[in-house]
């Protein structure tokens, strides 16, 4: 099966994300209309997360992420698949296969849990002067 994956690169020195990302590896559960599977987070921000998994879903599909941040109870988050990263000869094998997910709906409790978690950690990006 062939799969088209759009890859857009930001201009040199331009980061497309507006929220800081925190690198963290947590097991997550993912549910779609008919499937349940697992993956590992690679990073998280207030806007979404990257999930390393070989069970890629189509861009635009909504899935529910079951996530437990350290020190918090499990939260369920409705997410939209925004982009895919697949292993290929073109991209080499150093990239992790997975999906970039955007938080579509966050409950106030989930928003607070994520914000508190992020506030307690440092960003993986640093300004270079």
Q: What is the pLDDT of residues 12-46, one digit of tens each?
A: 544 454 567 788 899 999 998 878 989 999 999 99
User: Is 16 inside a domain boundary?
Assistant: no
User: Is 98 inside a domain boundary?
Assistant: yes
CATH number assigned to the domain comprising residue 34: 2.40.10.220
Q: Does residue 3 surpass a pLDDT of 70?
A: no
The pLDDT tens digits of the residues spanning 54-104 come to 899 999 999 999 999 988 899 999 999 999 998 766 655 567 899 999 999
In this predicted structure, what is the pLDDT of residue 113? 92
The burial of 62, by beta-carbon neighbours within 10 Å (0-12 exposed, 13-18 middle, 19 or more buried), is given as middle
In this predicted structure, what is the pLDDT of residue 87? 72
User: Is 113 inside a domain boundary?
Assistant: yes
Identify the domain containing residue 35 by its residue range. Answer: 22-119
What does the buried/exposed string (b/e) look like for 70-89 if buried means 16 or more CB atoms within 10 Å of the residue's CB? eeeeebebebbbeebbeeee
User: Is 36 inside a domain boundary?
Assistant: yes
**Cβ atoms of 79 and 102 closer than 8 Å:** yes
Provide the number of structural domains found in the chain: 1
User: Is 108 inside a domain boundary?
Assistant: yes
């Amino acid at each position: 099966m062939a799969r088209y994956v759009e890859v857009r690169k930001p201009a040199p020195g331009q980061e497309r994300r507006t929220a800081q990302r925190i690198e963290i590896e947590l097991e997550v559960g993912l549910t779609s209309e008919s499937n349940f599977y697992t993956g590992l987070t690679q990073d998280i921000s207030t806007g979404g997360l990257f999930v390393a998994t070989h069970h890629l879903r189509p861009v635009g599909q909504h899935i529910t992420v079951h996530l437990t941040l350290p020190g918090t109870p499990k939260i369920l988050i409705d997410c939209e698949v925004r982009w895919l990263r697949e292993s290929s000869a073109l991209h080499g094998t150093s990239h992790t296969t997975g999906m970039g997910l955007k938080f579509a709906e966050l409950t106030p409790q989930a928003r607070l849990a994520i914000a508190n978690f992020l506030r307690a950690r440092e960003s993986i990006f640093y300004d270079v002067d």
